[in-house]
Amino acid sequence: MPAVSTTVAIQRTPDWISDISDYVASISWARDGQSLAVSASSGPIGHRAAADGAPLGVWPGHQGGTFRALFNPAGEPLLSVGQDGQVRFWETGHYAIRSEVKVPAAWVEQAVWSPDGTMAAISAGRQVVALRPDGSILHRFPPLPSTVSGLVWRADGRELAASAYGRIQIWDIVTGQPKEPLLWKTSLISLSWSPDQRWIVAGTQEQSVQIWEMPFRPGNELAMSGYPGKVRSLAWHYSSRFLATDGGPELMVWDCGGRGPAGSTPRILEGHSSRVSVLTYQKAGHLLASGDEDGRLLFWNAGKSTSPLCQARMPAGITCLDWSPDGSALAVGCRSGAVGVVKPGI
């Protein structure tokens, strides 16, 4: 049993909890903060009122299962990908398909909007495609040597990065031309890019975190090890100073300010009694939220303390988290189909 913080965190009760009776694959806030898109692993994408969870409508989603459904940060449209190999852009008010693109693969797993919402990127197997919100293809990049495991935009939207076995490939989004890849001889299973564009980070199969400072200079790679498990969740503080990572019941938070994390010791956050399954920082605030496989949700100010500030309990293991646009509330999805909103109030 891992060590657990002896500090008693303030208990919060979710504002509401609803049940979609299916594994919650993704959850996403609308730009106005008034509603949520909740994708079920069986396919349908539910539209819920953020205030009380009341059903507003349903987008049909994808036959065989929806992997991700994401509201555009600019407002319109809703983007979804799934098991049927389709990329779909949906009308947000009428639950109808605005446009769709068939990708020559069995399924489409990754999807990310550019920060300004003018572009989207998806991955299907070894293929990465950049699209416009009208469904037209901007770039169809040459396939990577192995399956894409992560996909992330640079904060200014001018470059796109994808991780796969042994490499991270970066493309110039204007020209579509590839940059020199970042190479590392292991399986990279998660990917993130700091908001200040300084660091690219990947979690590895070998229970470590690999970090590159940009622009990259050979020999400057840094490996941060000592994790009890694979690192699947990476979260940046909006200032880019702190990088939070999972890998077990504890969270490790690295100080990436100044000269970076080389030679430093991470701040270890103890409070979960089971493996952390997902974590995320507020988009413009100091709170870090982490959810575990037993349904416990903790809120931290990792830059100041190793003890959780408050906590909440969900009915089952937590699969996805998303902060509201104003950072006042957190949407939570669970393995059992439970969906809720929690306000930390701090």
- CA 279 to centroid of chain Cα atoms: 8
**Whether the predicted pLDDT of 221 surpasses 90:** no
Region 324-337 average pLDDT: 98
pLDDT reported for residue 8: 66
DSSP state of 178: B
Is the bond into 77 cis (omega within 30 degrees of 0)? yes
Tell me the DSSP string of 20-47: -SS-EEEEEE-TTSSEEEEEETTS-EEE
Q: Would you say 216 and 199 are in contact if contact means Cβ atoms under 8 Å apart?
A: no
pLDDT reported for residue 104: 79
**Whether the predicted pLDDT of 203 surpasses 90:** yes
Which of 4-8, 37-41, 79-83, 318-322 has the weakest average pLDDT? Answer: 4-8
pLDDT reported for residue 2: 44
Alpha-carbon span 239 to 102, nearest angstrom: 38
Residue that has been written with the tokens 């106005």 in this structure: 32
DSSP state of 179: P
CA atoms within a 13 Å half-sphere pointing along the CA-CB vector of 262: 11
CATH architecture of 233-346: 7 Propeller (2.130)
Mean pLDDT score of the chain: 95
What does each C-alpha distance from 50 to 25, 77, 159, 279, 336 come to in angstroms? 18, 18, 33, 20, 20
Region 260-280 average pLDDT: 95
As a dihedral over the C-alpha atoms of residue 91, residue 60, residue 233, residue 328, rounded to 10 degrees, the angle is 50
pTM of the model: 0.95
Q: Which two tokens stand for residue 111?
A: 């999807």
Alpha-carbon span 131 to 120, nearest angstrom: 5
What does each C-alpha distance from 108 to 69, 104, 144, 174, 337 come to in angstroms? 12, 9, 15, 23, 22
SS3 121: strand
**Whether the predicted pLDDT of 171 surpasses 60:** yes
**Whether the predicted pLDDT of 7 surpasses 80:** no
User: Could you tell me which of 284, 275, 278 has the C-alpha nearest to residue 321?
Assistant: 278
Sketch the domain layout of the chain as residue ranges: 233-346
Alpha-carbon span 202 to 180, nearest angstrom: 17
Alpha-carbon span 115 to 158, nearest angstrom: 10
Q: Residue 9: which pLDDT band, with cuts at 50, 70 and 90? A: confident
Per the DSSP assignment, residues forming a β-bridge with 146 are: none
The residues near 334 (Cβ < 8 Å, ≥ 6 apart) are 24, 295, 314, 315, 316, 317, 318, 319
Q: Residue 211: which pLDDT band, with cuts at 50, 70 and 90? A: very high
Q: Residue 117: which pLDDT band, with cuts at 50, 70 and 90? A: very high
